[in-house]
C-alpha cells in the first residue's frame, strides 16, 4: 500500500508539473505541458534547466505550504516560476549564483500568485513580470551573473512562416521556429479554437506592427506577436464575442509592445496583462449596465 501511495504521489506531482508548463499557454493539458518542455529543451538547454528549476521550486513550495490542492494540480503554481527561471537563464549566463537567485525568485513568484489568488485577482503572468524585472535589476546592480549577449536572429524581408512560428517560440523567449511549431501543434491538437485564435492574434500583430512602421526584420523576430498570442488564448472560447475580445486585446497588446520597443524598455508579458485586464474590465462594466 505504501508503494502504491508513493507512486501515486509521484504521478500526481508529475502531472502537476506538466500542467504548470501548459498553463504558460493558459491551458490545462499534459500534452501542451510536455510539448512546452520539449520545445524549450530543443531551443536552449540552459533555459530548460532554469525553467525546470523554477517549475519544481514553485510546485514544491506550494505543496509544502499547503496551498489549495486543486490549484496545485491545475498547475497554477508552476507556470510563473517556470517563466521566471526560463527568463533569468535567457538574460544571464548560467552560474551557481544564478541558480540560487532563480530558486528565490521562483519562490517569491509563487507566494505573490497565492496572494493574488486569495484576493480573486486574475494574476495571469503578473508574478513572473514583477519578480523577473526586479531580479534583473538586482543581478545587474550586484553583479551576481554575467549578462547574455542579445541573440542574433537572421531575418531579412518579411517571412510569414518565420514570423508566425517565432511568435509562438517567443512566448518562452525562444528564437526557434522548431519550438514554435511544437507549441502551435500541441495547442491545435488540444484545443483547436485556441490555436486558431492565437494564429489570428499573430496576424493582427504583424499587420499592426508593420502599419506603425516596425521594420520587417524586427517583425520577423516574433517579438511583437507573443503577447498577442497570450491575449487570444485568454479569450479562447467558441463565440464571436470571445473572438472580438481576443482581437481587441491582441491589438492593444501589440501597440503596447511597439511603445515599449520604441522606448527601449523591457516589459516581458506586461502588454498581455494590461490589455487582457482592460478588455475584461470593460466587458464586466458592459454586462453590469445591460443587467
Statement: residue 272 has pLDDT above 80: yes
Q: Using alpha carbons, select from 183, 250, 176, 204 the residue that is nearest to residue 31.
A: 183
Instruction: Tell me the C-alpha to C-alpha distance, in Å, between residue 192 and each of 188, 237, 265.
Output: 4, 10, 34
Indicate whether 32 pLDDT > 50: yes
Nearest to 253 by CA among 239, 281, 238, 232: 232
Find all residues with CB under 8 Å of 220, minimum gap 6, and list them: 153, 155, 156, 158, 159, 162, 163, 166
- Write the pLDDT tens digit of every residue in 208-244: 999 999 999 999 999 999 999 999 999 998 788 889 9
Cβ atoms of 235 and 275 within 8 Å: the answer is no
Report residue 151: phi and psi, to 5°. Answer: -65, 140
Q: Give the pLDDT confidence of 47-90 residue by residue, as tens digits.
A: 999 999 999 999 999 999 999 999 999 999 999 999 999 999 99
pLDDT-derived band at 285 (thresholds 50, 70, 90) equals confident
Residue 126's pLDDT band (boundaries 50, 70, 90)? very high
Summarize pLDDT for 235-252 with one digit per residue, the tens.
998 788 889 999 999 999
**290 pLDDT more than 70:** no
What span, in angstroms and rounded, lies between the C-alpha atoms of 127 and 138?
16
Rounded Cα gap, residues 19 and 36, in angstroms: 10
Amino acid at each position: 500500500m505504501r508503494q502504491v501511495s508513493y507512486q501515486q504521489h509521484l504521478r500526481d506531482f508529475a502531472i502537476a508539473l506538466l500542467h504548470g508548463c501548459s498553463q504558460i499557454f493558459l491551458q490545462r493539458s499534459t500534452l501542451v505541458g510536455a510539448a512546452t518542455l520539449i520545445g524549450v529543451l530543443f531551443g536552449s538547454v540552459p533555459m530548460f534547466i532554469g525553467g525546470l528549476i523554477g517549475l519544481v521550486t514553485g510546485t514544491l513550495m506550494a505543496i509544502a505550504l499547503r496551498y489549495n490542492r486543486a490549484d496545485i494540480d491545475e498547475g497554477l503554481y508552476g507556470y510563473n516560476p517556470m517563466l521566471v527561471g526560463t527568463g533569468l537563464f535567457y538574460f544571464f549566463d548560467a552560474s551557481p549564483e544564478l541558480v540560487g537567485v532563480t530558486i528565490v525568485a521562483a519562490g517569491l513568484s509563487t507566494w505573490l500568485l497565492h496572494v493574488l489568488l486569495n484576493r480573486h485577482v486574475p494574476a495571469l503572468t503578473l508574478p513572473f513580470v514583477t519578480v523577473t524585472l526586479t531580479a534583473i535589476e538586482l543581478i545587474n546592480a550586484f553583479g551576481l551573473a554575467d549578462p547574455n549577449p542579445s541573440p542574433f536572429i537572421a531575418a531579412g524581408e518579411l517571412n510569414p512562416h518565420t514570423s508566425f512560428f517565432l511568435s509562438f517560440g517567443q512566448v518562452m523567449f525562444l528564437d526557434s521556429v522548431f519550438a514554435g511549431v511544437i507549441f502551435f501543434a500541441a495547442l491545435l491538437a488540444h484545443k483547436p479554437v485556441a490555436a486558431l485564435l492565437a494564429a489570428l492574434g499573430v496576424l493582427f500583430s504583424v499587420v499592426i506592427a508593420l502599419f506603425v512602421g516596425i521594420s520587417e526584420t524586427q517583425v520577423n523576430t516574433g517579438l511583437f506577436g507573443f503577447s498577442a498570442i497570450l491575449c487570444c488564448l485568454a479569450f479562447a472560447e467558441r463565440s464571436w464575442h470571445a473572438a472580438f475580445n481576443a482581437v481587441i486585446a491582441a491589438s492593444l497588446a501589440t501597440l503596447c509592445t511597439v511603445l515599449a520597443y520604441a522606448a527601449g524598455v523591457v516589459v516581458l508579458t506586461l502588454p498581455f496583462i494590461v490589455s487582457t485586464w482592460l478588455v475584461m474590465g470593460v466587458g464586466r462594466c458592459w454586462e453590469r449596465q445591460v443587467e
